[in-house]
Protein backbone atom coordinates (compact mmCIF):
# COMPACT_ATOMS: atom_id res chain seq x y z
CA UNK A 1 0.00 0.00 0.00
CA UNK A 2 1.56 3.35 -0.98
CA UNK A 3 1.82 5.98 1.71
CA UNK A 4 0.71 9.59 1.20
CA UNK A 5 0.72 12.74 3.27
CA UNK A 6 -2.84 13.61 4.32
CA UNK A 7 -4.02 17.19 4.25
CA UNK A 8 -1.16 18.76 2.27
CA UNK A 9 -0.47 18.30 -1.41
CA UNK A 10 2.91 18.52 -3.08
CA UNK A 11 2.51 22.07 -4.34
CA UNK A 12 1.72 23.44 -0.88
CA UNK A 13 4.62 21.47 0.59
CA UNK A 14 7.07 23.03 -1.88
CA UNK A 15 5.94 26.66 -1.94
CA UNK A 16 6.30 29.47 0.57
CA UNK A 17 3.59 32.07 0.11
CA UNK A 18 4.11 35.44 1.77
CA UNK A 19 0.41 35.62 2.61
CA UNK A 20 -2.07 38.44 2.11
CA UNK A 21 -4.17 40.02 4.87
CA UNK A 22 -7.88 39.42 5.27
CA UNK A 23 -10.02 42.43 4.55
CA UNK A 24 -11.20 44.31 7.59
CA UNK A 25 -13.61 47.24 7.69
CA UNK A 26 -15.08 48.96 4.71
CA UNK A 27 -13.31 49.78 1.45
CA UNK A 28 -14.38 51.17 -1.93
CA UNK A 29 -12.99 50.03 -5.28
CA UNK A 30 -13.84 50.33 -8.93
CA UNK A 31 -13.77 46.55 -9.41
CA UNK A 32 -13.97 43.61 -7.00
CA UNK A 33 -12.90 40.16 -8.16
CA UNK A 34 -14.09 37.17 -6.14
CA UNK A 35 -11.82 34.15 -6.39
CA UNK A 36 -8.04 33.87 -6.07
CA UNK A 37 -7.44 31.17 -8.66
CA UNK A 38 -6.02 31.56 -12.16
CA UNK A 39 -9.18 33.16 -13.60
CA UNK A 40 -9.46 35.82 -10.90
CA UNK A 41 -5.73 36.49 -10.87
CA UNK A 42 -5.58 36.69 -14.67
CA UNK A 43 -8.49 39.14 -14.74
CA UNK A 44 -6.75 41.33 -12.17
CA UNK A 45 -3.43 41.07 -14.06
CA UNK A 46 -5.00 42.08 -17.36
CA UNK A 47 -6.73 45.01 -15.67
CA UNK A 48 -3.49 46.11 -14.02
CA UNK A 49 -1.61 45.84 -17.31
CA UNK A 50 -4.26 48.12 -18.84
CA UNK A 51 -3.61 50.70 -16.13
CA UNK A 52 -6.59 49.82 -13.89
CA UNK A 53 -5.41 49.03 -10.37
CA UNK A 54 -8.38 50.31 -8.35
CA UNK A 55 -9.17 46.64 -7.84
CA UNK A 56 -9.68 44.31 -4.88
CA UNK A 57 -9.38 40.53 -5.13
CA UNK A 58 -11.06 38.44 -2.42
CA UNK A 59 -10.06 34.82 -1.85
CA UNK A 60 -12.02 32.66 0.60
CA UNK A 61 -8.98 30.59 1.60
CA UNK A 62 -5.47 31.04 0.23
CA UNK A 63 -4.32 32.08 -3.23
CA UNK A 64 -4.46 29.03 -5.49
CA UNK A 65 -6.39 26.97 -2.94
CA UNK A 66 -8.67 25.36 -5.54
CA UNK A 67 -7.97 23.79 -8.92
CA UNK A 68 -5.41 26.46 -9.84
CA UNK A 69 -3.01 25.25 -7.15
CA UNK A 70 -3.72 21.52 -7.50
CA UNK A 71 -3.59 20.72 -11.23
CA UNK A 72 -1.10 18.85 -13.39
CA UNK A 73 0.76 21.99 -14.44
CA UNK A 74 0.36 21.53 -18.21
CA UNK A 75 0.45 24.79 -20.21
CA UNK A 76 -0.81 24.32 -23.77
CA UNK A 77 -3.51 25.33 -26.21
CA UNK A 78 -7.09 24.18 -26.48
CA UNK A 79 -10.23 23.84 -24.39
CA UNK A 80 -11.89 20.99 -22.53
CA UNK A 81 -14.22 20.80 -25.50
CA UNK A 82 -12.35 18.78 -28.13
CA UNK A 83 -11.14 20.40 -31.31
CA UNK A 84 -13.56 18.55 -33.59
CA UNK A 85 -16.51 19.47 -31.38
CA UNK A 86 -15.33 23.09 -31.40
CA UNK A 87 -15.30 23.17 -35.19
CA UNK A 88 -18.73 21.51 -35.30
CA UNK A 89 -20.12 24.10 -32.87
CA UNK A 90 -18.97 27.34 -34.52
CA UNK A 91 -17.43 26.42 -37.88
CA UNK A 92 -13.77 26.20 -38.92
CA UNK A 93 -13.11 29.95 -39.21
CA UNK A 94 -14.37 30.90 -35.75
CA UNK A 95 -12.92 27.74 -34.17
CA UNK A 96 -9.48 28.66 -35.46
CA UNK A 97 -9.75 32.12 -33.92
CA UNK A 98 -10.84 30.70 -30.58
CA UNK A 99 -8.03 28.17 -30.56
CA UNK A 100 -5.54 30.92 -31.37
CA UNK A 101 -6.74 32.79 -28.29
CA UNK A 102 -5.58 29.86 -26.16
CA UNK A 103 -2.16 29.88 -27.86
CA UNK A 104 -1.97 33.62 -27.20
CA UNK A 105 -2.75 32.85 -23.55
CA UNK A 106 0.17 30.41 -23.38
CA UNK A 107 2.41 33.19 -24.74
CA UNK A 108 1.00 35.58 -22.11
CA UNK A 109 1.83 33.11 -19.32
CA UNK A 110 5.39 32.82 -20.62
CA UNK A 111 5.72 36.59 -20.82
CA UNK A 112 4.44 37.12 -17.29
CA UNK A 113 6.77 34.49 -15.87
CA UNK A 114 9.76 36.29 -17.37
CA UNK A 115 8.56 39.88 -17.06
CA UNK A 116 7.61 39.58 -13.39
CA UNK A 117 10.34 37.07 -12.51
CA UNK A 118 7.96 34.43 -11.19
CA UNK A 119 9.91 31.42 -9.97
CA UNK A 120 7.51 28.62 -10.88
CA UNK A 121 9.89 26.01 -12.31
CA UNK A 122 8.90 26.29 -15.99
CA UNK A 123 10.04 23.25 -17.95
CA UNK A 124 10.29 24.09 -21.66
CA UNK A 125 10.34 20.46 -22.78
CA UNK A 126 7.02 20.22 -24.61
CA UNK A 127 4.13 17.81 -24.16
CA UNK A 128 3.47 14.35 -25.64
CA UNK A 129 0.03 13.10 -26.59
CA UNK A 130 0.75 9.36 -26.35
CA UNK A 131 -1.46 6.86 -28.16
CA UNK A 132 -2.88 4.32 -25.71
CA UNK A 133 -4.34 2.24 -28.55
CA UNK A 134 -2.70 0.25 -31.35
CA UNK A 135 -4.66 2.06 -34.07
CA UNK A 136 -2.16 4.43 -35.70
CA UNK A 137 -4.94 6.30 -37.49
CA UNK A 138 -5.83 8.03 -34.21
CA UNK A 139 -2.63 10.07 -34.27
CA UNK A 140 -2.62 10.50 -38.04
CA UNK A 141 -6.12 11.97 -38.00
CA UNK A 142 -5.35 14.26 -35.08
CA UNK A 143 -2.13 15.52 -36.63
CA UNK A 144 -3.86 16.34 -39.94
CA UNK A 145 -6.86 17.89 -38.22
CA UNK A 146 -4.71 20.24 -36.11
CA UNK A 147 -2.66 21.28 -39.12
CA UNK A 148 -5.61 21.75 -41.49
CA UNK A 149 -8.00 23.52 -39.10
CA UNK A 150 -5.74 25.35 -36.65
CA UNK A 151 -2.41 25.72 -38.43
CA UNK A 152 -0.75 23.80 -35.59
CA UNK A 153 2.10 21.44 -36.46
CA UNK A 154 2.47 18.61 -33.97
CA UNK A 155 5.44 16.30 -34.59
CA UNK A 156 4.67 12.63 -35.18
CA UNK A 157 6.75 10.31 -32.98
CA UNK A 158 6.97 6.65 -34.01
CA UNK A 159 6.60 3.84 -31.47
CA UNK A 160 10.32 2.98 -31.46
CA UNK A 161 11.40 6.59 -31.04
CA UNK A 162 8.88 7.15 -28.26
CA UNK A 163 10.08 4.00 -26.48
CA UNK A 164 13.53 5.60 -26.22
CA UNK A 165 12.01 8.48 -24.25
CA UNK A 166 9.14 6.81 -22.39
CA UNK A 167 10.40 3.39 -21.32
CA UNK A 168 7.12 1.53 -21.62
CA UNK A 169 5.46 -0.69 -24.19
CA UNK A 170 2.08 0.84 -23.33
CA UNK A 171 2.04 3.40 -26.18
CA UNK A 172 2.06 2.91 -29.95
CA UNK A 173 3.41 6.37 -30.76
CA UNK A 174 2.76 10.01 -29.96
CA UNK A 175 2.30 13.55 -31.17
CA UNK A 176 4.73 16.08 -29.73
CA UNK A 177 3.66 19.67 -29.03
CA UNK A 178 6.96 21.55 -28.85
CA UNK A 179 5.37 24.89 -27.99
CA UNK A 180 3.84 23.58 -24.77
CA UNK A 181 5.49 23.53 -21.36
CA UNK A 182 4.76 22.64 -17.74
CA UNK A 183 5.29 24.39 -14.42
CA UNK A 184 4.54 24.57 -10.68
CA UNK A 185 1.01 26.02 -10.84
CA UNK A 186 0.76 27.16 -7.23
CA UNK A 187 4.05 29.05 -7.37
CA UNK A 188 2.77 30.73 -10.53
CA UNK A 189 -0.49 31.74 -8.83
CA UNK A 190 1.39 33.05 -5.80
CA UNK A 191 3.75 34.95 -8.08
CA UNK A 192 0.82 36.63 -9.82
CA UNK A 193 -0.62 37.64 -6.44
CA UNK A 194 2.68 39.21 -5.38
CA UNK A 195 2.87 41.04 -8.69
CA UNK A 196 -0.64 42.39 -8.20
CA UNK A 197 0.20 43.57 -4.70
CA UNK A 198 3.27 45.38 -5.99
CA UNK A 199 1.17 46.97 -8.74
CA UNK A 200 -1.41 48.41 -6.36
CA UNK A 201 -4.15 45.79 -6.59
CA UNK A 202 -5.36 44.77 -3.13
CA UNK A 203 -5.23 41.00 -2.62
CA UNK A 204 -7.05 39.60 0.42
CA UNK A 205 -6.95 35.96 1.57
CA UNK A 206 -9.25 34.45 4.22
CA UNK A 207 -11.93 36.83 2.94
CA UNK A 208 -14.85 34.66 1.89
CA UNK A 209 -17.65 36.59 0.21
CA UNK A 210 -20.77 35.78 2.22
CA UNK A 211 -23.22 38.00 0.39
CA UNK A 212 -23.30 40.03 -2.81
CA UNK A 213 -26.03 42.63 -3.14
CA UNK A 214 -26.86 45.58 -5.32
CA UNK A 215 -25.95 48.92 -3.76
CA UNK A 216 -27.30 51.74 -5.90
CA UNK A 217 -25.42 51.71 -9.19
CA UNK A 218 -22.79 49.36 -7.76
CA UNK A 219 -22.39 46.38 -5.46
CA UNK A 220 -21.78 45.56 -1.82
CA UNK A 221 -19.79 42.44 -0.96
CA UNK A 222 -19.91 41.32 2.65
CA UNK A 223 -17.26 39.16 4.33
CA UNK A 224 -16.94 37.99 7.94
CA UNK A 225 -14.90 41.04 8.96
CA UNK A 226 -15.26 43.54 6.16
CA UNK A 227 -17.23 45.00 3.33
CA UNK A 228 -16.31 46.04 -0.19
CA UNK A 229 -18.32 48.46 -2.30
CA UNK A 230 -17.50 48.31 -5.98
CA UNK A 231 -18.79 49.57 -9.30
CA UNK A 232 -18.27 46.14 -10.91
CA UNK A 233 -18.00 42.60 -9.53
CA UNK A 234 -16.39 39.63 -11.31
CA UNK A 235 -17.11 36.10 -10.05
CA UNK A 236 -14.27 33.62 -10.65
CA UNK A 237 -14.94 30.88 -8.10
CA UNK A 238 -14.80 27.70 -10.22
CA UNK A 239 -15.60 24.41 -8.53
CA UNK A 240 -15.72 26.08 -5.11
CA UNK A 241 -18.55 28.51 -5.90
CA UNK A 242 -21.08 26.59 -3.76
CA UNK A 243 -24.31 28.65 -3.46
CA UNK A 244 -22.87 32.16 -3.45
CA UNK A 245 -24.59 32.94 -6.76
CA UNK A 246 -27.41 30.43 -7.49
CA UNK A 247 -27.69 31.05 -11.23
CA UNK A 248 -23.98 30.44 -11.73
CA UNK A 249 -23.93 27.49 -9.33
CA UNK A 250 -26.79 25.88 -11.24
CA UNK A 251 -24.82 26.07 -14.49
CA UNK A 252 -21.67 24.40 -13.17
CA UNK A 253 -20.76 20.87 -12.15
CA UNK A 254 -17.97 20.46 -9.56
CA UNK A 255 -16.00 17.44 -10.79
CA UNK A 256 -13.04 15.92 -8.93
CA UNK A 257 -9.75 14.75 -10.34
CA UNK A 258 -6.84 13.07 -8.56
CA UNK A 259 -3.09 13.72 -8.42
CA UNK A 260 -0.13 12.20 -6.61
CA UNK A 261 3.62 12.82 -6.36
CA UNK A 262 6.14 10.07 -5.70
CA UNK A 263 9.17 10.32 -3.48
CA UNK A 264 12.31 11.72 -5.17
CA UNK A 265 13.43 8.96 -7.52
CA UNK A 266 16.94 10.10 -8.39
CA UNK A 267 18.48 7.97 -11.14
CA UNK A 268 15.53 5.59 -10.95
CA UNK A 269 13.38 8.17 -12.73
CA UNK A 270 15.50 7.69 -15.87
CA UNK A 271 14.56 4.03 -15.84
CA UNK A 272 11.05 5.19 -16.78
CA UNK A 273 11.36 8.60 -18.44
CA UNK A 274 14.25 9.91 -20.52
CA UNK A 275 12.59 13.20 -21.28
CA UNK A 276 11.64 16.34 -19.41
CA UNK A 277 8.36 16.55 -21.30
CA UNK A 278 4.89 16.14 -19.82
CA UNK A 279 2.66 13.32 -21.08
CA UNK A 280 -1.04 12.56 -21.49
CA UNK A 281 -2.75 9.88 -23.53
CA UNK A 282 -5.56 9.40 -26.04
CA UNK A 283 -8.23 7.89 -23.76
CA UNK A 284 -11.32 9.79 -22.61
CA UNK A 285 -10.17 9.52 -18.97
CA UNK A 286 -6.46 9.77 -19.61
CA UNK A 287 -3.40 9.64 -17.39
CA UNK A 288 -1.34 12.81 -17.23
CA UNK A 289 2.10 12.99 -15.71
CA UNK A 290 5.39 14.83 -15.71
CA UNK A 291 8.84 14.66 -14.13
CA UNK A 292 9.49 17.26 -11.44
CA UNK A 293 12.65 19.24 -10.81
CA UNK A 294 13.46 17.17 -7.69
CA UNK A 295 13.19 13.86 -9.65
CA UNK A 296 9.71 13.01 -8.40
CA UNK A 297 7.06 11.84 -10.82
CA UNK A 298 3.78 13.73 -10.61
CA UNK A 299 0.87 11.56 -11.79
CA UNK A 300 -2.77 12.50 -12.27
CA UNK A 301 -5.91 11.04 -13.73
CA UNK A 302 -9.45 9.80 -13.32
CA UNK A 303 -12.62 11.87 -13.11
CA UNK A 304 -15.23 11.53 -10.42
CA UNK A 305 -17.96 13.37 -8.58
CA UNK A 306 -16.29 12.22 -5.34
CA UNK A 307 -13.56 13.91 -3.36
CA UNK A 308 -11.36 11.14 -1.92
CA UNK A 309 -8.94 10.81 0.99
CA UNK A 310 -5.22 11.00 0.23
CA UNK A 311 -4.53 7.29 0.81
CA UNK A 312 -7.39 6.26 -1.46
CA UNK A 313 -6.16 8.58 -4.22
CA UNK A 314 -2.63 7.22 -3.81
CA UNK A 315 -3.84 3.63 -4.11
CA UNK A 316 -5.80 4.30 -7.32
CA UNK A 317 -3.11 6.34 -9.06
CA UNK A 318 -0.27 4.08 -7.96
CA UNK A 319 -2.04 1.22 -9.70
CA UNK A 320 -2.48 3.38 -12.82
CA UNK A 321 1.21 4.31 -12.80
CA UNK A 322 2.34 0.69 -12.58
CA UNK A 323 0.10 -0.21 -15.50
CA UNK A 324 2.35 2.03 -17.62
CA UNK A 325 5.65 1.78 -15.75
CA UNK A 326 5.80 -1.54 -13.86
CA UNK A 327 9.51 -0.91 -13.21
CA UNK A 328 8.46 1.72 -10.63
CA UNK A 329 6.88 -0.86 -8.35
CA UNK A 330 7.87 -0.23 -4.76
CA UNK A 331 8.38 3.54 -4.99
CA UNK A 332 6.77 5.54 -2.22
CA UNK A 333 3.98 8.04 -2.80
CA UNK A 334 4.75 11.10 -0.69
CA UNK A 335 1.70 13.20 -1.57
CA UNK A 336 -1.75 12.52 -2.98
CA UNK A 337 -4.75 14.82 -3.26
CA UNK A 338 -7.96 15.58 -5.07
CA UNK A 339 -9.61 18.83 -6.11
CA UNK A 340 -12.77 20.17 -7.68
CA UNK A 341 -12.89 21.46 -11.26
CA UNK A 342 -15.80 23.43 -12.70
CA UNK A 343 -17.50 22.16 -15.86
CA UNK A 344 -20.39 23.54 -17.87
CA UNK A 345 -22.55 21.14 -19.83
CA UNK A 346 -20.89 22.26 -23.06
CA UNK A 347 -17.29 21.93 -21.69
CA UNK A 348 -16.37 25.47 -22.78
CA UNK A 349 -15.42 28.42 -20.58
CA UNK A 350 -18.41 30.38 -19.35
CA UNK A 351 -17.58 34.05 -19.74
CA UNK A 352 -20.10 36.84 -19.65
CA UNK A 353 -22.38 39.13 -17.69
CA UNK A 354 -25.66 38.34 -15.97
CA UNK A 355 -28.71 40.56 -16.60
CA UNK A 356 -28.17 42.20 -13.20
CA UNK A 357 -24.68 43.30 -14.27
CA UNK A 358 -22.56 40.68 -12.45
CA UNK A 359 -19.58 39.49 -14.52
CA UNK A 360 -18.43 35.86 -14.39
CA UNK A 361 -15.66 33.56 -15.56
CA UNK A 362 -15.88 29.82 -14.83
CA UNK A 363 -16.16 26.37 -16.44
CA UNK A 364 -12.45 25.87 -17.16
CA UNK A 365 -12.29 22.31 -15.78
CA UNK A 366 -9.91 19.76 -17.26
CA UNK A 367 -7.93 22.16 -19.45
CA UNK A 368 -7.79 25.36 -17.50
CA UNK A 369 -4.32 26.90 -17.32
CA UNK A 370 -4.39 28.54 -20.74
CA UNK A 371 -8.14 29.24 -20.94
CA UNK A 372 -8.23 30.90 -17.50
CA UNK A 373 -5.59 33.35 -18.71
CA UNK A 374 -7.61 33.83 -21.88
CA UNK A 375 -10.73 34.37 -19.77
CA UNK A 376 -9.03 36.98 -17.63
CA UNK A 377 -7.89 38.90 -20.70
CA UNK A 378 -11.35 38.75 -22.30
CA UNK A 379 -13.12 39.86 -19.10
CA UNK A 380 -10.65 42.67 -18.44
CA UNK A 381 -11.05 43.93 -21.99
CA UNK A 382 -14.85 43.91 -21.64
CA UNK A 383 -14.64 45.75 -18.31
CA UNK A 384 -12.59 48.40 -20.11
CA UNK A 385 -15.17 48.70 -22.88
CA UNK A 386 -13.69 46.27 -25.42
CA UNK A 387 -16.23 43.48 -25.74
CA UNK A 388 -15.41 41.93 -29.12
CA UNK A 389 -13.55 38.90 -27.79
CA UNK A 390 -16.13 38.29 -25.06
CA UNK A 391 -18.79 38.05 -27.77
CA UNK A 392 -16.98 35.02 -29.20
CA UNK A 393 -18.12 33.05 -26.15
CA UNK A 394 -21.79 33.96 -26.56
CA UNK A 395 -22.65 30.49 -27.99
CA UNK A 396 -21.80 28.97 -24.60
CA UNK A 397 -24.13 30.39 -22.02
CA UNK A 398 -25.29 28.99 -18.67
CA UNK A 399 -27.44 25.90 -19.32
CA UNK A 400 -28.57 24.24 -16.10
CA UNK A 401 -26.55 21.16 -15.15
CA UNK A 402 -29.29 19.49 -13.11
CA UNK A 403 -27.73 19.53 -9.65
CA UNK A 404 -27.36 16.04 -8.08
CA UNK A 405 -29.00 14.43 -11.11
CA UNK A 406 -26.48 16.16 -13.34
CA UNK A 407 -23.61 14.86 -11.22
CA UNK A 408 -25.01 11.34 -11.43
CA UNK A 409 -25.34 11.67 -15.21
CA UNK A 410 -21.74 12.91 -15.42
CA UNK A 411 -20.54 9.90 -13.46
CA UNK A 412 -22.48 7.53 -15.71
CA UNK A 413 -20.96 9.24 -18.75
CA UNK A 414 -17.46 8.79 -17.33
CA UNK A 415 -18.10 5.10 -16.68
CA UNK A 416 -19.48 4.64 -20.19
CA UNK A 417 -16.46 6.22 -21.92
CA UNK A 418 -14.04 4.40 -19.64
CA UNK A 419 -15.67 1.09 -20.54
CA UNK A 420 -15.58 2.02 -24.23
CA UNK A 421 -11.84 2.71 -24.00
CA UNK A 422 -11.23 -0.60 -22.29
CA UNK A 423 -13.08 -2.43 -25.04
CA UNK A 424 -10.99 -0.60 -27.65
CA UNK A 425 -7.82 -1.93 -26.02
User: Cα separation of 57 and 48, whole Å?
Assistant: 12
Residue 263 in any domain: the answer is yes
Residue 5 in any domain: the answer is no
Plot region of 10 (φ>0 → left; ψ -120 to 50 → alpha; else → beta): alpha
Residue 37 in any domain: the answer is yes
pLDDT in tens, the chain (425 residues): 465 554 579 999 999 877 899 999 999 999 999 999 999 999 999 999 999 999 999 999 999 999 899 999 999 999 999 999 999 999 999 999 999 999 999 999 999 999 999 999 999 999 999 999 999 999 999 999 999 999 999 999 999 999 999 999 999 999 999 999 999 999 999 999 999 999 999 999 999 999 999 999 999 999 999 999 999 999 999 878 777 888 888 888 888 889 999 999 999 999 999 999 999 999 988 999 999 999 999 999 987 766 778 899 999 999 999 999 999 999 999 999 988 888 888 999 999 999 999 999 999 988 889 999 999 999 999 999 999 999 999 999 888 877 777 666 666 776 666 777 676 77
Domain that holds residue 111: 10-413
Residue 419 in any domain: the answer is no
Rounded to 5°, angle at Cα 255 from 7 and 205: 50
Q: Which of 51, 190, 11 is nearest to 116 (CA)?
A: 190
Residue 425 in any domain: the answer is no
CA dist 124 to 88, 175, 197, Å? 32, 16, 28
Q: Which of 46, 35, 11 is nearest to 361 (CA)?
A: 35
Query: What is residue 238's DSSP assignment?
Result: G
CA dist 110 to 32, 96, 98, 107, Å? 26, 21, 19, 5
Dump strand ranges (E) for 208-313.
211-215, 218-222, 226-235, 253-262, 278-281, 288-291, 297-304
Contact of 228 with 56, CB cutoff 8 Å: yes
User: Cα separation of 239 and 321, whole Å?
Assistant: 27
How many structural domains does the chain have? 1
Residue 331 sits in a domain whose CATH number is 3.50.50.60
Residue 1 in any domain: the answer is no
User: Cα separation of 171 and 151, whole Å?
Assistant: 26
- Which distant-in-sequence residues (6+ apart) come within 8 Å of 391 by Cβ? none
What pTM was computed for the model? 0.94
Amino acid sequence: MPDASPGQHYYWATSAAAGHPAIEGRADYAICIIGGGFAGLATAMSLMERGENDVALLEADRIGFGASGRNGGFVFGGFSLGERALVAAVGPHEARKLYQLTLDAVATIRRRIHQYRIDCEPAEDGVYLANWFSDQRILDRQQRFMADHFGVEWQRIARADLADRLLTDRYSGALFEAGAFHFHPLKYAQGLARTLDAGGVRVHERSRALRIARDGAGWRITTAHGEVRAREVVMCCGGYLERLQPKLAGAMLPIATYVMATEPLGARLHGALRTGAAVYDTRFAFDYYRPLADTRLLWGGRISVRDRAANEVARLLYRDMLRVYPQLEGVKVDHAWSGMMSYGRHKMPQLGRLPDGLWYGMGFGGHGVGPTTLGGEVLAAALCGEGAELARFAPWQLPATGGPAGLFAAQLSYWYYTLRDRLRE
